[in-house]
């Protein structure tokens, strides 16, 4: 099939890393198309172009239509796409990693499938919320209770500071307008934070579903990561906006949260925190190496793209080199 004209696909190492990107862009009731290396957004007010590779996640709300060419570009750029329902109460799709390496995913799977290492990671997550306190010997039940008390205190404090009535977190996913102003703002902000966490996790090559505190859901790790920042970014902002709400408090919350995310360098912080939780270090180097090995129960990895059978394997470096030869005497002493 003849390739359609236009810009060529960008190599992964040429794309901005996830920590360097803008946070999220929410769109609704518009047409999304492709214009060279950008996407074009068209509605009744006109058309604007957005450099796709600069975005972490596109949140597509009701009334959005996207072309195949636009999705091709978005996928090549590693930008996550979340088709969401009214006010962000539904989630449908995601992007692809900004790395060819599965190292982070393999480590995540290893940690989450061992009770001791999973508990260690969960404790790290709670330790990040309780600076100066030692939670290394607490059980999950104790940690949940401690976290619940912390969040309730934050709600009460923010309500008092902003003179907002607070009767608890109450919301109906099917009736956004039915909640009061602060609960609407909380719902809108939380949906955006989940989208951002999801985009970072996917871009780094980790799994959104392998959570350490949350479990059993396709977005368990998304909830784990988002909860590290919700009390700092979403809750105070929701109460501030609820003190003098507009008719579009959901839109106000998205715009204010986006500004706060930029000011706090949250994308860079998420990348470092995820690498610290899974790898025990906070460096942000990304592997672009497009290497595929075969698993071996003794050696760990052997070379891919080789016809194995009647041959001799020579162990070299990370894996093996395989030579087809009937002259086995020439290989004496090698294993």
pTM higher than 0.85 for the full model? no
- Residue 207 has a pLDDT of 92
CA distances from 279 to 31, 49, 137, 276 (A): 41, 38, 21, 5
Q: Name the percent of the chain lying above pLDDT 90.
A: 42
Q: How do beta strands 80-83 and 55-60 pair?
A: parallel
- Residue 239 has a pLDDT of 97
* Of residues 334 and 193, more confidently modeled: 193
Mean pLDDT of the chain: 80
Q: Can you tell me the mean pLDDT for 137-159? A: 95
- Residue 156 has a pLDDT of 96
The most confident of the ranges 16-25, 54-63, 160-169 is 160-169
- Residue 1 has a pLDDT of 43
Structural domains in the chain?
Answer: 12-88 (3.100.10.20), 103-279 (1.20.120.920), 294-331 (no CATH)
pLDDT in tens, 63-107: 899 999 888 888 777 777 877 766 555 666 666 666 677 888 999
- Residue 311 has a pLDDT of 53
Residue 272 structure tokens: 């470092």
Q: How do beta strands 319-323 and 312-316 pair?
A: antiparallel
Helix axes 181-204, 249-263, angle to 10 degrees: 40
Q: Name the percent of the chain lying above pLDDT 70.
A: 75
Name residues whose C-beta falls within 8 Å of residue 318's C-beta, 6 or more positions apart in sequence: 293, 301
The most confident of the ranges 3-12, 14-23, 26-35, 274-283 is 26-35
Residue 242 structure tokens: 């609820």
């Amino acid at each position: 099939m003849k390739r359609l004209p236009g810009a060529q696909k960008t190599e992964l190492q040429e794309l901005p890393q996830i920590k360097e990107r803008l946070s999220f862009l929410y769109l609704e009731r518009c047409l999304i198309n492709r214009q060279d290396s950008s996407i074009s957004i068209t509605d009744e007010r006109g058309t604007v172009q957005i450099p796709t590779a600069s975005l972490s996640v596109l949140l597509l709300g009701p009334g959005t239509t996207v072309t195949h060419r636009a999705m091709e570009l978005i996928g090549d750029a590693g930008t996550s796409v979340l088709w969401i329902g009214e006010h962000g109460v539904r989630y449908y799709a995601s992007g692809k990693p900004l790395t060819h390496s599965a190292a982070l995913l393999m480590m995540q799977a290893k940690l989450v499938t061992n009770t001791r290492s999973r508990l260690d990671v969960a404790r790290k997550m709670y330790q990040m919320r309780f600076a100066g306190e030692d939670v290394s010997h607490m059980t999950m039940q104790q940690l949940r209770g401690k976290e619940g008390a912390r969040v309730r205190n934050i709600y009460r404090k923010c309500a008092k500071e902003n003179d907002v009535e607070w009767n608890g977190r109450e919301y109906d996913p099917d009736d956004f307008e039915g909640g009061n102003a602060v609960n609407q703002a909380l719902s809108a902000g939380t949906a955006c934070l989940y989208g951002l966490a999801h985009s970072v996790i996917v871009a780094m090559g980790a799994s959104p579903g392998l959570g350490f505190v949350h479990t059993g859901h396709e977005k368990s790790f998304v909830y784990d990561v988002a909860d590290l920042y919700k009390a700092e970014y979403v809750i105070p902002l929701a109460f501030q906006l609820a003190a003098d709400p507009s008719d579009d408090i959901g839109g106000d919350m998205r715009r204010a949260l986006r500004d706060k995310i930029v000011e706090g360098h949250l994308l860079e912080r998420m990348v470092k925190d995820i690498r610290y939780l899974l790898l025990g270090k906070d460096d942000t180097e990304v592997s672009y190496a497009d290497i595929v090995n075969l698993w071996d129960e003794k050696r760990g990895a052997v070379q891919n793209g080789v016809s194995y059978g009647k041959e001799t394997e020579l162990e070299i470096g990370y894996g093996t080199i395989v030579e087809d030869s009937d002259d086995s005497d020439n290989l004496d002493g090698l294993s």
